[in-house]
Structure 1
Amino acid sequence: METIQILVLAFVQGLTEFLPISSSGHLVLTPLLFGYELQSLAFDVAVHLGTLAAVIVYFRREIARMLVAVLDSLRTRRFDDPDARLGWMIVLATLPVVVLGLPLKSVLEWLREDDQLIALVIAGTTIGFGLLLWWADWRGRRERDEYGLGWGDALVIGLLQAVAIIPGTSRSGITITAGLLLGLTRQAASRFSFLLAIPTILMAGGLETLELVQTAEPVDWSGLVLGAMVSYLVAYLTIRFFLSFIERISMLPFALYRFLLGGVILGLLYL
């Protein structure tokens, strides 16, 4: 991969992983729009590790508190500590991905074999889930934070997260949408979505790494390091600024972007 391609794709991954606009969709569309070859599996692993590092660093204090509280809850068998409860909610919300991830991944691999089909799928999911995001933001009560989530709430968010393996859906977008529909504030829905990304990206990265080892494809280590560093920096700044202004601007700009992007894709396909 050329340096400019590495920079563009790493920037796209870092920017879109935590915004409700679909990182997987953008990573598929960007090579198509710029005429690049689809990036290697090794590069996908590297940029996802970069975004994983960003969310861990940003939420390092919350993660530390949750880990201590969860371990203490196992010892005492008491689950009334808010940090322990939140930690267990993240564990529960991750389970649907564990169960449904591999079957849905095979669907993704099938879609990627046909450029026109996957572009059409991305257009449809981008517009459809953009509309759902806007509706959830408009109708949501926005009365509670992520510590108020119950077991049923976490399971609903986790089930919807599993759907996000389909390009254009957006993992952060669908989980934020679910959080808003369940009455979370915009910031709380976003924080839970970002924390939920940690085990999800870890599992996805682990599977991709296993595939990479089995294929034994050549690795451009300098390109991977550059991609990981750029995606880390962009993702960290994205999380920071997104959480600082999302309560003020609402989800409407992201929904409008999704409508526009989906329309552009359809125009390119059929005009």
Structure 2
Amino acid sequence: MSIAYEAAGTDRTATQRLFGLGAPARGVDDRGEPLNRMSMDIGALAPNTTRTAYSGVLAVLLDDLLGFTVWDRRGTRDGLVTAELSVDVLTPRRWQGPTLWAESRLLALTADGGTSTARVCDSAGTLIATGTLWGNFVDLPMPAADRSALPGLPAPGVPPLEWIGGRIEDGPGVRVVVPPNPLIANKLGFMHGGVQACAIDLAATAALSRDGADMDTASARINFFRPVALDCDTTFTADVVRVGRAVSVARVAGTSGGRICVEATVTGRRRLT
């Protein structure tokens, strides 16, 4: 049981508001060990999870909390960037709302960064997903706050593709194209790593579906190579590696400004009725 939580701050980013994330909270578990916590409001989408898998949104919750857990131990460094994010989805459907809860612990810390792990449960206590993040500390002063008006948030319960303002294009590989959108920026002004992971999941799912694989996402292993600026379209292209009866695999590359910024391997498992 987790106890003694203390909010780490009340100013939520636009991405946190877009995905219904609460502010991170520092705490300790019943053994007195540090344990951070974050919520995600799924009240509007929980009824839809019977027929639709929302695995991609889990990556935003996990990246945000896992990153905070390492960032909180940065000492004198300015910030943190995600180098690798791993997500394993244990319960892809039939989530019980109105809230998902994620709890995160620090696994390792060095002068250059750290590793954290997290579990996500729904309001019934069912284990939904686990995640692990490896992050690097950076020395980049926080940019000045952008006081320009933000676009309005999409209606509650719409598909995640609409949350991030993206579109799906077909071709040699299925592509999810995400145009510049200030709602998906992290605190450094680049595209949030969890949003990139969400787009990766959407691209992989669409590609596997086109190839006849009726799959839910089982896992995603994502490597981030460089920040994604929000001054041009970012394209996430999925190529199917293998379609099997029980397991299928797709690889996804995210490009921006003509350069690969992120790559991932997404594994799907046969959808259970």
TM-score for both structures, normalised by structure 1: 0.26
Which is strand-richer, 1 or 2? 2
| Greater RCO, 1 or 2 (C-alpha within 8 Å, sep 6+) | 1
Which is helix-richer, 1 or 2? 1
